[in-house]
C-alpha cells in the first residue's frame, strides 16, 4: 500500500523551503523538489491545507517560504496563532507583498454538488464544498501543494477527485490515510473494504500520482482488529507526473 514509486534526489522537508537531499531520518512527509516538478519562477504558486487540529504548521511554513498563496481550511474554528489571519474566499497577496495564510471555516465534500441554475455561482457560505468548487470560488485552476488530514473521509473524497478529474489540477499531495475503520459511507465486509481501498489507491496512481514518501502513524488497529506489522494510519506524499 505504501511502496515508493519515484525517487527524488532533492526534497523539501517539513518546515523547510530550501531543497536538499532526503534526510537520513524519516520525516512525516516530503515534497519532491526536482526542478521539473516545481512551479516555474514566474508561475503563481497555490497551496491548500485541510486539517482540524492545527498541526499543519510545518507544511504552512514550507509553502509560505516558497512564496505560495496559501489557504487553510478548518470548519471547527479559526486559528489565531502563528501570525495567520482569517479571511474570506479571496487571494492573500494584497497586503503590500506580505504573504500570509487565508483562513476558511470550511471543509471538503465528496458528494456531487446540486445542479445550479445557469449564471449562478456556488454558495461561498457553505460549510462543505467539493475541491473543484472551492478552486472555482477562489479562481484557481491549479493547486501546486495540497495537504489534508480528513479524519477517515479521505476515501470517498479521493473517489470524488478521481471520478471528477480534479486530481489533474493537483501537483503535490500529502494525505494521512486512516485504516482503523472503513471510513465515512464505506461499507461491506472487511474483504470488500480492502478491495475498495486498493481500487481507490490504484485510481490515484492511474490519475498520474507517484508515491515519493510514506510514514507510519501510531497503533496497529486495522478495521477494528490488531494487525502486526501494519499501522492504523499512514502519511503518504505523492507528486503528479501525469
pLDDT tens for each residue of 118-159: 554 554 456 889 999 999 999 999 999 999 999 999 999 999
CA 99 to chain centre: 20
Q: How confident is the model at residue 54 (pLDDT cuts 50, 70, 90)?
A: confident
Whole-number percent of the chain with pLDDT over 90: 68
Q: Is pLDDT above 60 for 86?
A: no
How many angstroms separate the CA atoms of 185 and 161, rounded?
16
Among 70, 58, 77, residue whose Cα is nearest residue 98: 70
- The pLDDT of 173-197, averaged and rounded, is 94
How many angstroms separate the CA atoms of 173 and 224, rounded?
27
Which segment of 48-62, 87-101, 125-139, 153-167 scores lowest on mean pLDDT? 87-101
pLDDT at site 22: 82
Q: Is pLDDT above 90 for 32?
A: yes
pLDDT at site 117: 54
pLDDT at site 94: 39
pLDDT at site 88: 37
- The pLDDT of 46-63, averaged and rounded, is 92
Which segment of 12-21, 61-70, 113-122, 153-162 scores lowest on mean pLDDT? 113-122
pLDDT at site 77: 63
Most confident of the following: 75-79, 192-196, 224-228: 192-196
**Which set of grid coordinates corresponds to residue 48?**
491548500
204-230 burial, b if ≥16 CB within 10 A, otherwise e?
Answer: beebebbbbbbbeeeeebbeeeeeeee
Q: How confident is the model at residue 83 (pLDDT cuts 50, 70, 90)?
A: very low
pLDDT at site 95: 42
Mean pLDDT over the full length of the chain: 85
Q: Is pLDDT above 70 for 8?
A: yes
Which segment of 97-106, 165-174, 181-190 scores lowest on mean pLDDT? 97-106
Amino acid at each position: 500500500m505504501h511502496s515508493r514509486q519515484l525517487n527524488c534526489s532533492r526534497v523539501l522537508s517539513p518546515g523547510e523551503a530550501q531543497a536538499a537531499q532526503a534526510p537520513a531520518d524519516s520525516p512525516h512527509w516530503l515534497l519532491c523538489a526536482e526542478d521539473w516538478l516545481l512551479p516555474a519562477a514566474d508561475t503563481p504558486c497555490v497551496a491548500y491545507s485541510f486539517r482540524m487540529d492545527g498541526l499543519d504548521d510545518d507544511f504552512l511554513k514550507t509553502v509560505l517560504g516558497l512564496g505560495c498563496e496559501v489557504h487553510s481550511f478548518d470548519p471547527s474554528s479559526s486559528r489565531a496563532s502563528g501570525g495567520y489571519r482569517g479571511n474570506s474566499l479571496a487571494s492573500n497577496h494584497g497586503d503590500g507583498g506580505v504573504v500570509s495564510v487565508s483562513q476558511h471555516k470550511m471543509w471538503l465534500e465528496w458528494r456531487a454538488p446540486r445542479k445550479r441554475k445557469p449564471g449562478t455561482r456556488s454558495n461561498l457560505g457553505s460549510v462543505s464544498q467539493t475541491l473543484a468548487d472551492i478552486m472555482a470560488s477562489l479562481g484557481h485552476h491549479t493547486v501546486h501543494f495540497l495537504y489534508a488530514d480528513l479524519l477517515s473521509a479521505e476515501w470517498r473524497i479521493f473517489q470524488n477527485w478521481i471520478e471528477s478529474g480534479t486530481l489533474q489540477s493537483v501537483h503535490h499531495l500529502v494525505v494521512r490515510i486512516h485504516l482503523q475503520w472503513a471510513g465515512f459511507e464505506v461499507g461491506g465486509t472487511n474483504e470488500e473494504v480492502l478491495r475498495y481501498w486498493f481500487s481507490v489507491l490504484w485510481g490515484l496512481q492511474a490519475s498520474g500520482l507517484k508515491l515519493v514518501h510514506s510514514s507510519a502513524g501510531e497503533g496497529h488497529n486495522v478495521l477494528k482488529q490488531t494487525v502486526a506489522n501494519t499501522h492504523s494510519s499512514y502519511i503518504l506524499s505523492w507528486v503528479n507526473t501525469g
